[in-house]
Every structure is written in C-alpha cells, then in structure tokens.
Amino acid sequence: MNLSVAILIALVFGAGLGLLMRQLMGRRVRLGWAEAVLSGIVGSELGIMVLAIIRGGYAREHWPGALVASVVSTVIVMSILGYFTRRPQPSAAELVAAGESRALEFKSTARCNLHTGQRDDKIELVVSKTVAALTNSGGGDLLIGVEDDGNPRGLDDDLKFMKEPDYDRYELWLRDHLSRTLGATAAADVEVAFPLLDERTICHVRVLPAKRPVFLTPAKGQAVQMWVRVGNSTRQLGVDEAMSYAADRWGRRRLR
C-alpha cells in the first residue's frame, strides 16, 4: 500500500474513532468536534504504537488488538484532554455579578407568592418553564432566592412550606417537581447546590444542555409546551415554531 494512502486511512480512522467516542462518552467529557478528532487521531496512533512495541512489531493479523488498543488509548487521551481543558464553573457570586442573560435567570422564590405569602402553583410552574427553556437553549444556570436586581433573598420563603425545612428536602421537592412537569430525564440532568451569597443560602440549579427536546406538561390533560430562551427572557414556542426549532437544533433523527 502506498505510504500516503496508508497515512490518509490512519487519519480518517482516527478522526472517525474520535467522533464516535465523543458521542458514546457524552457528557463525561465535554470536548468540541475538533478536539474529539484530534484525540481520535492521537489516541489511535498511540494505541497501535503501544501494541507494536508489546508484540515486537505489527502485523495485519493483529488488527483486532490494534482496534481495542486504539479505542482504549483514545478514551485515555480524551479524558486527559477533557480534564485539562475543562473550564471552572463560575461561583454564584460571579454569576450574580454578570447579571441575567440567555444562560442565567434569577428567581426570588420557587414556591411562595410574595404578594400573598402562600404557596402558588403558578410560581412553581415558572421554575419548570425556566429549566425547560435553559436546557432547550444549550444549558445555563438558575439561581433561586435571588431577586431580579441580584440581591440575595435566601430560601426562607420557600422552606416554610416544607414539613421539615432543610435543604435536602428542598432538593427532593425540586427534583420531584421537575420530574412531574418535564420528565425524569430532564430532572436528572440538573445539578443542585446551595451556596452562600452575602450570608444567605440560595439554590443554584445548573441546567445541562438537552440531548433532545424537553417539553413541559403543565398539568394532566393539558397539551405539552416547548419553552426556549430568547435573550434574557423565557418564551413559549408555537407548534410550528417548536418543530422548526427542534429540527434545527437537534436534527430530525433526535425527534423520532
């Protein structure tokens, strides 16, 4: 085989392997397409090189071992690259300083209507709408217990509706609520923390990007809704808009 052809085949194989492993590894390594291709090329070459050293040379009949070695080496390279290129997540204070945006929303409460002082289903549903919009728009952050101007309010207004007002039960309620309105998968794809902000505990909900469209079910018997972020606001899409948006963002295969 011509050397240039062999090199080309090796590059194509490595690039394809990198893209495949990126898809399979999913969120465990957050690498871009270019990084995945580079990882696949480097990983496959390293794997074959290590196999050749172990066996004292490479022969065509060793291709199963070369394939396994390439996959293992690519996973290692992608994991290392993902670790060193991972950007640190901003703190709650840094998020508040940046202000609301397409990927950041503040909510004073998640359960309590501040005008009536009572638990309000509409307030709770707004939280689901925000999470749905963020995940459908590439992910982002929701800070509960923070007013629109960035001043921390804390969670006391919401905690009074808990039988036992602690943060573990608050998280359980939040995940159960998201599971009922958005589905179990969407509820599992959020990370919940309770950082201090100016000596007040708030709830930081980190929302990961959805792999396929997430729809909101307001209540039993009601039609599902699709919400997205437009600028720093949350907007509901009509049926035609939702289909077009989903096809453009995830591709038609994800909609089956």
Q: Are residues 38 and 54 in the same domain?
A: yes
Whether residue 2 is predicted with pLDDT greater than 50 in this model: the reply is no
More confident site: 36 or 139: 139
Number of structural domains in the chain: 2
Whether residue 131 is predicted with pLDDT greater than 70 in this model: the reply is yes
More confident site: 88 or 58: 88
**Residue 132, pLDDT score:** 97
More confident site: 130 or 54: 130
Q: Of 37, 57, 85, which residue constitutes the final position of a domain?
A: 85
Q: Are residues 106 and 226 in the same domain?
A: yes
Whether residue 3 is predicted with pLDDT greater than 50 in this model: the reply is no
Q: Of 69, 85, 101, which residue constitutes the final position of a domain?
A: 85
Q: Are residues 115 and 206 in the same domain?
A: yes
How far is it, in rounded angstroms, from Cα 128 to Cα 223? 15
**Residue 56, pLDDT score:** 64
23: Cα within 13 Å, side-chain hemisphere = 5
**Residue 245, pLDDT score:** 92
Q: Are residues 78 and 107 in the same domain?
A: no
Whether residue 246 is predicted with pLDDT greater than 70 in this model: the reply is yes
Q: Are residues 72 and 104 in the same domain?
A: no
More confident site: 66 or 235: 235
Q: Of 85, 100, 115, which residue constitutes the final position of a domain?
A: 85
Q: Using alpha carbons, select from 132, 113, 135 the residue that is nearest to residue 124.
A: 113
C-beta separation of 170 from 203 below 8 A:
yes
Residues 6+ apart with CB under 8 A from 10: 41, 44, 45
- CB-count burial class (<10 Å; 0-12, 13-18, 19+) for 183: middle
Three-class DSSP category at 201: strand
Q: Are residues 63 and 100 in the same domain?
A: no
**Residue 211, pLDDT score:** 87
Print the domain residue range for 128: 92-255
205: Cα within 13 Å, side-chain hemisphere = 33
Q: Are residues 117 and 224 in the same domain?
A: yes
Q: Are residues 61 and 110 in the same domain?
A: no
Question: Which range is most confident: 18-22, 93-97, 143-147?
Answer: 143-147
The per-residue pLDDT for range 73-84, each reduced to its tens digit, is 777 777 776 666
Whether residue 72 is predicted with pLDDT greater than 90 in this model: the reply is no
Whether residue 121 is predicted with pLDDT greater than 70 in this model: the reply is yes
CATH number at residue 146: 3.30.950.30
Task: Name the pLDDT band for 190 (thresholds 50, 70, 90).
Answer: very high
In this prediction the pTM is 0.71
**Residue 67, pLDDT score:** 66
